[in-house]
Amino acid sequence: MEISELPRPLVIAVDGPSGSGKSSVSREVARRLGLEYLDTGAMYRAATWSVLEAGVDLADQAAVAQAVRDLDLRMGTDPAAPGVHVGSTDVAGPIRETRISSQVSAVATNLEVRAELKRRQRELIEGARDGVRSGVVAEGRDITTVVAPDADVRILLTASEEARLARRARELHGAAEAHHLEATRDQVLRRDRDDATVSSFHVAADGVLQLDSSELDFEQTVQAVLQAIAATVGTRQGDPVSR
């Protein structure tokens, strides 16, 4: 099946650990397929930013959960410019700061917060089925198993620890020298370790296709995901897959 022949609406779910490339790859796949793009990790980051700005004690789980339920969060889903707003404030930049990265797990492991944001994620995914682009690439934790287990295509994008650290170091520091890797290690591995207490994203569940991008560059990974989508949808429809 040619990519241009893929049916609509189309929901693609991409899961994976930190540094696996799921955000940048998912966004590019959405752009090429003409689909919306949902970065669910940005939702947790925006929630963390809002809670910290409000001075809520992260250790007070009930207060954090209530703050998130009251959160006025708007997620842009255009892959060309996926904005994130809390109220009238554009937080797309601030939520990527180290202070948010170092605290987000405290919010993301709050089960009541997860329940609220998963509810919102499902609403956004369902809305994308009828949107202008008639579908969405949604990426983040639990997407393939909890948030969108009925997605048309479910992919677990993984990579070796070394590859993930190098990618995140280049992203944050512009290079992957030894000291850059060490500065990045805690952010990547601790976040995965913390999130693993409430989410499974290292092993593909039944029906989820696992792709290892350790030896692939960005374009090769995008192509691998596009081929996986065409193969999965084509197989279900009984069509030959175009290579």
- Known binding positions: 16-24
Q: CB-based contacts of 119: which residues, under 8 Å, 6+ apart? A: none
Query: Which residue spans within 1-99 are E strands per DSSP?
Result: 10-15, 36-39, 73-75, 84-86, 89-90
d(CA 76, CA 82): 5
Token code pair at residue 28: 């590019």
Token code pair at residue 191: 């976040």
Residue 104 has φ and ψ, to the nearest 5°, of -65, -30
Give the neighbor-by-neighbor strand order of the sheet with 10-15: 36-39, 135-139, 10-15, 153-158, 209-212
d(CA 72, CA 123): 15
d(CA 191, CA 18): 8
Binding residue ranges for ATP:
16-24
User: Among 50, 16, 11, 63, which Cα is nearest to 161's?
Assistant: 16
- Residue 71 corresponds to which amino acid? L
Q: Go through 43-66 and write b for each residue having 16 or more CB atoms within 10 A of its CB, e for each that does not.
A: bbbbbbbbbbeeebebeebeebbe
